Chains A and B, each alone.
Chain A
Amino acid sequence: MKQFIAFVKKEFHHIMRDNRTLLIILGMPVVEILLFGFAINMEVQDIRVAFYDPTPDDFTTGIAERIRQNSYFNYQGKMQSMEEMEESMRKGKLDLAVVFPQKFQESMVHSGKAAVQLLSNSSDPNRGSISVTYASAIIAGFQQEQADLIQIPFRIETENRMIYNPLMKSSYMFVPGIMGLVLMIICTIMTSVSIVREKERGTMEVLLASPLKQGTMIFAKTIPYMVISFIDFIIILLLSYFVLGVPVNGSLLLLFLVAILYITLTLSYGLTVSTLVDKQVNAVIFSATTAMIPVLMLSGMIFPIDNMPMVLQTLSAIVPARWFIEAVRKVMIQGLGITMIWKEMLILIGMILFLLGVTIAKTKKRLE
């Protein structure tokens, strides 16, 4: 026991006395949150819109007015011709063009229908389709108003609401992902580097020749990173709650439980990596490739899993962060209880056991 404590203290010393690493460990979550929260914004805003309206009338001006007044749109003016419109779009000065046909109101009133053409710059397909959606919604709203005025019975009114995330804030999506990424980096990369560093330095040999049990040493090495990652988790939670306004709708205790599970998992993976490589450099590269990149790409952190091709969706299932992020989203954003995340938790536990098994099997009792 005394050995263990002495060793844990030593590990803390190593971390605390390395300023650069300390900066990364404690500064990273802050930077990530601020970056994702403020700088990277997936919401579609500032849609530059222009109108082509050869025969303006009450309807066309009404629709144009409503679009212009909407805060998501940025009114660029009226175009004099389709060529001007296309020119603008091609030069990248226009995101959405609203084209009214001749005599819009007349067609509407007399034949009960008229068409509005929406042309959107879809070099960013996401942005393009959402711009069209917004504009369509506004037009539909206008149409609704007109219908109200004429008082047709048996109207169907649809009311859209985005549950859990009414403001469609992308930060809700990112925060669980950032947690998954940061914890993975700290626990996996740092832990594996810490163990491999002993090998590289030659102190491993000295430790092996001493009565210190390997298990004690490895466990002692994971303790500081467990503590630090938990601190980071709390930092992320606090920042996202107070700075980004992301709610914590579910049980905080459950959230901590899920975090502990995930931290244990990433630490175990760090241990596994340390049995596979001999140099710190390799530990970093191996961890980064197998841990960070899959987390960024496949865990559902940035890109929705459902949109991926089947192959990648299957691959995503072995990325631990995917299950962690799902569980966190369910608990934090949706406020669900343990009954809804038992599947994710079970998968995480299974992965932990697997990784620990591999680690123990690969840990050599003697130098070979």
Chain B
Amino acid sequence: MSLLAADLRAFLAAGLKEIRQQRRYPTLFLGQLFWPVILPASWVLMGQAYSGNDPQALAAFANRAGSSNVAVFVFVGYAMYNWLSVLLWGAGTALRQEQLRGTLEAVFVTPASRLVPLFGPGVATLLPMAVVFASNLVALRVFFGIFPPIAAVIQAAIIVVLGIPALYAIGALFAASVLRFGEVAPVVQLIRGMFVLACGITFPLAMLPIWAQVWAKLMPPTYIVDDLRRVLLQGDTIAGVFGDIALVMSLAVLTAFLAIAVFRYLELSARRTGMLGRF
């Protein structure tokens, strides 16, 4: 068997292991059903309170957000929020979990490529991610009586699929970086909070100061959220957002290389200092 084929098998095995572990703790899926429904629903009610059904207030919102449909605007933003949560708490902390369980050293002495433990756990985020998106759509339909046109939903699904590599790379970069920290939970909260503030998840990007808007343009989730809203709310098409998608994919490649570089650096440093098993 060639080296590449062997690494591919190891990659699939790493993903399968994570999925198997998720299956052992089915209560974890309760959160993936609850939060994608309740969180955005509460923000839609906040939107109703802030607008007071005042036509001028709704027009002001539409001017800044590109649509007066607050419910879909919020639900799309929260789909990204929940995707980031699944990613950062799952794949993002996978290496750290291995370190805590004392299995990271054992993984490192296998002949598999180092890219396997770095990128393998990301496979397991695909299932919860699908659950999150499905819960979002069902909640939008059941609680607010809204279901976007099928053609728009299909195009939105394509944007999500094309956005997966970028989010995957962010998860890997985070996973490699947090190996340095003793306590991961506050770092996850901080990074997720940064995305919430910068990527237009709960409010229109136009509300941010210019310097923050420039910063937001460096983050792939900003484009994914904006493209989803354009397709679902403004009747735009995949062709119309193609430039953004190409940019997201380029950022994905850059982020993945950065993740590999950080991981390599930490591995080298660990070899010199013997800190791999310490935490």
| Binding between chains A and B | no
